[in-house]
Amino acid sequence: MRGWCVAMLMVGALLAGMRPEATAKSECTEPLPALYQQVAPSVVFISAVTIASIQQPGERVSTIVGSGVIVDAEGLVLTNSHVVFGRRAITVTLDNGYTTPAKLLGADPILDVAVLRIPAPDTGLTKATLGDSDTLRVGEEALAIGNPMGLEQTLTRGVISGLDRLLPEFPLNLMLPLIQTDAAINPGNSGGPLVNRCGEVVGLASALLADAKNIGFAIPINLVKEVVPQLVQQGRVIRPWLGVSGKVIGPEMRDLLRLPLVDGFLVETIEPGSPAAKAGLHEGELLIAIAGEEFLFGGDVITAANGKALDDTETFTQFIRALKVGDSVRLTLYHEGTTREVEFSLPERPILPGDVPADSRHTLAPQQHRRAPLWHRRAPPRLQR
């Protein structure tokens, strides 16, 4: 019981330290050089080693670099999962050149968030202030600080270009409402902070569109703050596993398609071994492109869950996000003119092969080097651990 109380106190203290400080945005008029000097000491350079499988062609060992941000005076560092998940020999280099090994406390490839722990030097650590991403507005000024292409502590400036952007690579039940910015984000920025004009971290740089110019994405910091306690305590984010992906078919879409469908969630793919697969749900077989959007028809349509109709995207998303491990789910299914019901309990979702893509055109590929280029070679650290 005492251990449980101590753990809860630690998480409470962690969350308290991450609550955004009240700042009047109209009062944030510091010059950019001063703002950079305020935030840059909390931004770190992350290096890790990846070892390729023997079956993979090319070099077996390569160095991965990315960015991170210190959020705790005791050495808690936030970064992207794709920078450190499955890596070896993770090291963190501070703004002043101090380099130290880092311990991976937890990572979630789905949200692309990871937490590292580094030992604090005798002189202490500079932590960033976390803001409130729910208050962001399109057009608001935004700054990104990180190590793009290995160029350390680079500042780029832009605006918040869009909010609640959904990248189509994710299945609907895992889609993340990302922040879009035109502040330049490049490989090596991964895990670095996106900050507002007050110097508060409002997102973690995470993705870009490979064929676009100045279209980058960041994970909202409020979403990050929600999962940090689980990553620190459990080493992972615990989420239920349903195992379907697809699209919601509503009245407008059904009329456009002119097909004998009912309103509900069209099951396009099913994850092998998932509860949906074990319950015998059907996935799509026929690919059809309509007005530039692709649909995989032939699978089940989930018309209701636990007796509640799923006839629009918002309702389906609310249903998915309310699920918990151990919940019992009853689905009403329509397939080829017949209706049936299935019921099953939800286990914890495992990390699946598709959660950790080797390469993605949307996710920032961490910068890779055979050896550190000249701008990575630092003088011996001046600080002692």
Are 207 and 248 found together in one domain? no
Query: Are 218 and 195 within 8 A, CB to CB?
Result: no
pLDDT digits (tens, 9 = 90+) for 3-60: 434 343 344 445 445 544 444 455 788 899 999 999 999 999 999 988 776 555 566 7
Indicate which CATH number applies to the domain containing 253.
Answer: 2.30.42.10
The pLDDT value recorded for residue 314 is 82
Are 190 and 307 found together in one domain? no
The pLDDT value recorded for residue 91 is 93
Nearest to 226 by CA among 115, 98, 380: 115
Are 219 and 256 found together in one domain? no
User: What positions carry a catalytic annotation?
Assistant: 82, 112, 190
Are 92 and 13 found together in one domain? yes
> Residue 307 above 50 pLDDT?
yes
> Residue 365 above 70 pLDDT?
no
CA distance 240 to 274: 11
DSSP codes of every residue in 141-189: EEEEEE-GGG-TTEEEEEEEEEEEE--TTS-GGG---EEEE-S---TT-
pLDDT digits (tens, 9 = 90+) for 243-282: 998 888 877 666 666 666 688 899 999 999 999 999 999 9
Indicate which CATH number applies to the domain containing 145.
Answer: 2.40.10.120
Are 95 and 17 found together in one domain? yes
Query: Are 145 and 200 within 8 A, CB to CB?
Result: no
pLDDT digits (tens, 9 = 90+) for 143-192: 999 998 888 899 999 999 989 887 655 544 445 789 999 998 888 899 99
Are 111 and 78 found together in one domain? yes
> Residue 362 above 80 pLDDT?
no
> Residue 375 above 70 pLDDT?
no
pLDDT digits (tens, 9 = 90+) for 85-137: 988 899 999 998 889 999 999 999 988 999 999 998 888 899 999 999 999 99
Structure tokens at 219: 């994970």
> Residue 382 above 70 pLDDT?
no
Are 125 and 201 found together in one domain? yes
Are 276 and 132 found together in one domain? no
Are 279 and 223 found together in one domain? no
| Residue 174 forms part of a structural domain | yes
Structure tokens at 207: 């993705």
> Residue 336 above 90 pLDDT?
no
Confidence band of 79 (pLDDT split at 50, 70, 90): very high
CA distance 309 to 195: 40
The pLDDT value recorded for residue 136 is 94
| H helix runs in the chain, sequence order | 2-18, 32-39, 81-84, 221-234, 251-257, 275-278, 313-322
Comparison of pLDDT for 104 and 366, the residue scoring more: 104
CA distance 39 to 194: 10
| Residue 121 forms part of a structural domain | yes
The pLDDT value recorded for residue 354 is 73
CA distance 336 to 341: 14
| Residue 105 forms part of a structural domain | yes
pLDDT digits (tens, 9 = 90+) for 133-146: 999 999 999 999 99
CA distance 266 to 285: 12
Q: pTM for the complete prediction?
A: 0.76
> Residue 367 above 70 pLDDT?
no
The pLDDT value recorded for residue 220 is 95
Domain boundaries, position 197: 2-237+358-376
Nearest to 12 by CA among 233, 213, 239: 233
Hey, which of 133-147, 210-224, 292-306, 367-381 has the most confident mean pLDDT? 133-147
> Residue 70 above 50 pLDDT?
yes
The pLDDT value recorded for residue 373 is 32
Are 58 and 201 found together in one domain? yes
> Residue 348 above 80 pLDDT?
yes
| Residue 383 forms part of a structural domain | no
Are 270 and 363 found together in one domain? no
Residue/partner pairs of 246-254 with CB below 8 Å, 24 or more apart: 246/171, 246/172, 246/284, 246/296, 246/299, 247/172, 247/295, 248/172, 248/310, 248/311, 248/312, 248/313, 248/316, 249/301, 250/311, 250/312, 250/313, 251/311
> Residue 289 above 90 pLDDT?
no
| Residue 381 forms part of a structural domain | no
Partners of residue 246 on adjacent β-strands: 267
| Residue 385 forms part of a structural domain | no
Number of folded domains that form the chain: 2
The pLDDT value recorded for residue 18 is 56
Structure tokens at 22: 């009240």
> Residue 353 above 80 pLDDT?
no
Are 142 and 287 found together in one domain? no
Nearest to 190 by CA among 17, 353, 303, 48: 48
| Residue 201 forms part of a structural domain | yes
Cβ neighbors of 17 (< 8 A, separation 6 or more) are 71, 72
CA distance 228 to 113: 9
Structure tokens at 43: 């931004």
* Cα distances (angstroms) measured from residue 46 to each of 49, 150, 199, 240, 370: 10, 10, 21, 31, 15
| Residue 353 forms part of a structural domain | no
SS3 labels along 59-122: CCEEEEEEEEEECCCCCEEEECHHHHCCCEEEEEECCCCCEEECEEEEEECCCCEEEEECCCCC
